[in-house]
Amino acid sequence: MSLSYLQPVDDTFISEDYKPQQVGFVIQKHLPSLGIPDLTDIKIAFFCLDTLSQSFNRFREHFYSLFVGNWDFNIADLGNLPQGETLEQTHFAISQIVAQLIKEGVIPVVVGGSQEFTYSLYRAFDSLEQMVNLVSVDAKFDFGNADELFVENSYMSRLISEPPVNLLDFTNLGYQSYYVAQEELDLLEKMCFEAIRLGNVTNDLKSIEPAMRDADIVSIDMTSVQAKDMLAMGNVNGFNSREICAITRYAGISSNVQVMGIFEVPNTDLASQLVAEMLWYFCEGSNFRIKELPVINDENYTKYIVPIDDIQIEFFKSTQTERWWMKPGGDKYSGPQNHVPSGLVPCLPQDYEEAIRGSIPERWWRTYRKSV
């Protein structure tokens, strides 16, 4: 059983130390005396990638001290995953644990370690036999290392090249231009992937909602947060603490997100507090998940048809949540996909407004190019 890789949390984290309204009282814990919690009624479970240089006890202290929201589900702390003897052993253990949790209907959250463990989250879907959409919150694209722009063993290079290739779509949120080579941008453009600059995200946080709505994996590199908000060494610019919490709330709201990773956590008390609040916001967002599946002639959706030259673009608007979808062209999207039927892709009302002005939305072009 893959969960046997996990080690229990410290016995000092007992429920009696917390008020009944606090996370530490209600969360189900993997303790030495109790073993791994029963996952039957668990919706979200997290585990930490513990190392000799960093323990996540401070993170737990902060998270357990928070007061629970008006949540109608249970959460669990599954403990810590120690490093394997080799990097590949750690990748394997993470992927096996994540795959098992998803199969049991639990949303896993992985805290700690390097962002290269995004590859582990991705490989967990091999046994689930589905294509994967990945959203990465990162100031860089991670195709290379300190010496080379592109290296074969970078986790991003492995994602797009190693079989089985399950990556359907990739979106980067918050890249900073001076950390990114033009060749990397050109590669993403060639593969019809999306990258949104830091300034564009912070100017309109709502613009990330369609990408999150269609994501299976959300990977957050904490170096995307400005260093001063964590009292850590890192990047001068980046998301502030409020913005990164809002991003994790969007991830929680998405009914498609099946796993989230929070990586590259600085070893400071302020960073531990911030990650605790990010996890709280993810749980808060999950409480408001609504599974919407627009279908033809469904009275819960209003259909709009916009002709542009010799192209017809169909838009659908939910009368319940006012969220939008559109139907791109191309044979690849003519049938049902993993995430929504009829080949629909999430979009913004701005895409519809752009279409009625006579311009084909960039989101439509990108999906069309990918299909051909």
Angle at 323 between CA 320 and CA 326, to 5 degrees: 125
pLDDT at 293: 74
Q: How many domains does the chain have?
A: 2
Per the CB < 8 A criterion, the answer to whether 93 and 5 are in contact is yes
Q: What CATH code is carried by the domain that includes residue 113?
A: 3.40.800.10
pLDDT at 1: 67
In a domain, 291, yes or no: no
pLDDT at 339: 46
Q: Are residues 307 and 189 in the same domain?
A: no
Q: Are residues 140 and 184 in the same domain?
A: yes
In a domain, 332, yes or no: yes
Q: Are residues 140 and 107 in the same domain?
A: yes
Q: Are residues 222 and 363 in the same domain?
A: no
Closest alpha carbon to 284 in 243, 321, 322, 253: 253
pLDDT at 77: 97
pLDDT at 334: 45
Q: Does the structure show a pLDDT above 70 at 44?
A: yes
Q: Are residues 271 and 309 in the same domain?
A: no
Pure H helices in 27-139: 57-65, 87-103, 118-123
Q: Does the structure show a pLDDT above 90 at 247?
A: yes
Q: Are residues 56 and 187 in the same domain?
A: yes
Of 286, 321, 349, at which residue does a domain stop? 286
Q: Are residues 256 and 363 in the same domain?
A: no
In a domain, 292, yes or no: no
Cα 205 from chain centroid (whole Å): 15
Q: Percent of the chain scored above 90 by pLDDT? A: 74
In a domain, 294, yes or no: no
pLDDT at 119: 96
Q: Are residues 260 and 234 in the same domain?
A: yes
In a domain, 296, yes or no: no
Q: Are residues 237 and 352 in the same domain?
A: no
Q: Are residues 282 and 360 in the same domain?
A: no
pLDDT at 208: 96
Q: Are residues 199 and 94 in the same domain?
A: yes
Q: Does the structure show a pLDDT above 50 at 69?
A: yes
- Mean pLDDT value across the chain: 91
Of 254, 286, 318, at which residue does a domain stop? 286
User: What is the mean pLDDT of the segment spanning 45-64?
Assistant: 92
Q: Are residues 240 and 108 in the same domain?
A: yes
| DSSP 3-state of 166 | coil
Of 253, 286, 319, at which residue does a domain stop? 286
Q: Does the structure show a pLDDT above 80 at 152?
A: no
pLDDT for 161-183, tens place per residue?
899 999 999 999 999 999 999 99
pLDDT for 254-305, tens place per residue?
999 999 999 999 999 999 999 999 999 999 999 999 988 776 667 889 999 9
Structural domain that includes position 367:
301-371
Closest alpha carbon to 56 in 222, 281, 245: 222
Cα Dmax for the chain:
69
